Structure 1
Amino acid sequence: MAKPVIVFAGAVYPGQFGALCDYLRAAGLAETYFLTTPGHQAKNAHRGKHILGFKPDGPVTGAQRYYYTAKLERSAHIGRGLLSALQQFERHKKIDVVVTHSLWGAPHFLYDEIDAAIVSYIEFPSFRAHGWDPAYPPDQAQRMVDRNTEMLNFHQALCSDLVICPSQHAKSMFPEALQSNIEVQLEGFAFEDTKALELKERSAPLTIGFSARDLSNAKGFDTYVRLVDKLVERGLKANFVALGGSTGSTYGYEQQWVERKYSGAVDSFRDHLMKIYPRAAEVIEFPGKLPYDDFVQKLADIDIFLYPLRFGVANWGLVEILGRGGCVLAPDRGYPAELIQDDVNGRLLPDDDGAWIQEIIALSEDPERRYRYGQAARARARLLYSVQAVAPRYLGLFRLAAEKRQARIRNGS
Structure 2
Amino acid sequence: MDILFLHQNTPGQFRYLVQALAADGRHRIVFIGKRRDVAIKGVRILAYDSPKPPAAESHPYTRTLENAVRHGQQVARLCLQLKGEGFRPRLVIGHSGWGETLFIRDVFPQAKLLTYAEFFYRGEGADIGFDPADTVDLDTVARARIRTAPLILALESTDLALCPTEWQKSVHPPAFHPIIRVIFDGIDIDKAKPNAAARFTLPDGRVLAAGDEVLTYVARNLEPYRGFPYAMRALPAVLDARPNAVAVIVGGDEISYGSPPKDGGTWRETMVAEAGLERFGGRIVFTGKLPYNDYLALLQVSRAHLYLTYPFVLSWSCLEAMASGCLLVASDSAPVREVIEDGVNGVLVPFADVPAIAEKVIAALASPRDFMPLRKAARETVVSRYALADCRAKQLALLQEMLG
TM-score grouping bracket, smaller chain normalisation: 0.7 to 0.9
Map 1:28-47 → 2, pairs under 5 A: 28=24, 31=27, 33-37=29-33, 40=35, 42-45=36-39, 47=40
Aligned to 2:231: 224
Aligned to 2:309: 309
Over residues 9-40 of structure 1, what are the superposed CA-to-partner deviations in whole Å (9 max), with x where a residue is unaligned? Answer: 112212221222112332x2973624224x63
Name the amino acid aligned to 2:123. Answer: R
Over residues 204-239 of structure 1, what are the superposed CA-to-partner deviations in whole Å (9 max), with x where a residue is unaligned? Answer: 531112111111111111221122222235455411
| SS at 1:96 equivalent | strand
Would you say how many aligned residue pairs link Structure 1 and Structure 2?
384
Map 1:147-226 → 2, pairs under 5 A: 147-193=145-191, 196-198=194-196, 204-226=211-233
Name the amino acid aligned to 1:10. Answer: H
Give the deviation of 1:156 after TM superposition. Answer: 1.9
Give the deviation of 1:308 after TM superposition. Answer: 2.2
Aligned to 1:360: 361
Name the amino acid aligned to 1:272. Answer: T
Aligned to 1:272: 270
- Does structure 2 conserve the Cα–Cα contact (< 8 Å) formed by 1:6 and 1:30? no
Over residues 328-360 of structure 1, what are the superposed CA-to-partner deviations in whole Å (9 max), with x where a residue is unaligned? Answer: 121233111222244343223345445444433
Map 1:227-242 → 2, pairs under 5 A: 227-234=234-241, 237-242=244-249
CA spacing shift, 1:137–1:29, aligned 2, 3 Å: farther
2:15 to 12, 18, 43: 18
Q: Unpaired runs of 5+ in structure 1? A: 404-413
| Aligned counterparts of 2:399 and 2:99: Cα–Cα separation in 1 | 17
- Does structure 2 conserve the Cα–Cα contact (< 8 Å) formed by 1:343 and 1:373? yes
CA spacing shift, 1:30–1:180, aligned 2, 3 Å: farther
Aligned to 1:52: 45
Do structure 1's residue 8 and structure 2's residue 5 form an aligned pair? Answer: yes
Do structure 1's residue 244 and structure 2's residue 240 form an aligned pair? Answer: no
TM-score by length of 1: 0.80
- Does structure 2 conserve the Cα–Cα contact (< 8 Å) formed by 1:20 and 1:188? no
Over residues 298-340 of structure 1, what are the superposed CA-to-partner deviations in whole Å (9 max), with x where a residue is unaligned? Answer: 3233210011223322121212222222221212331112222
Q: Percent identity?
A: 25
Aligned to 1:406: none
| SS at 2:338 equivalent | helix
| Aligned counterparts of 1:109 and 1:188: Cα–Cα separation in 2 | 28
| SS at 2:287 equivalent | strand
Q: CA RMSD in A?
A: 3.2
Do structure 1's residue 95 and structure 2's residue 102 form an aligned pair? Answer: no
Which region of structure 1 is more displaced relative to structure 2, 80-89 or 309-318?
A: 80-89
Name the amino acid aligned to 1:111. Answer: R
Give the deviation of 1:108 after TM superposition. Answer: 1.6
CA spacing shift, 1:32–1:392, aligned 2, 3 Å: farther
Name the amino acid aligned to 2:117. Answer: I
| Aligned counterparts of 1:78 and 1:279: Cα–Cα separation in 2 | 42
| Aligned counterparts of 2:310 and 2:392: Cα–Cα separation in 1 | 30
| Aligned counterparts of 1:238 and 1:304: Cα–Cα separation in 2 | 10
CA spacing shift, 1:207–1:149, aligned 2, 3 Å: same
| Aligned counterparts of 2:51 and 2:221: Cα–Cα separation in 1 | 22
CA spacing shift, 1:384–1:5, aligned 2, 3 Å: farther
| Aligned counterparts of 1:301 and 1:20: Cα–Cα separation in 2 | 30
Give the deviation of 1:187 after TM superposition. Answer: 0.9
| Aligned counterparts of 1:51 and 1:188: Cα–Cα separation in 2 | 24
Over residues 28-70 of structure 1, what are the superposed CA-to-partner deviations in whole Å (9 max), with x where a residue is unaligned? Answer: 2973624224x63x4234x3241331546xx337565635433
Aligned to 1:296: 296
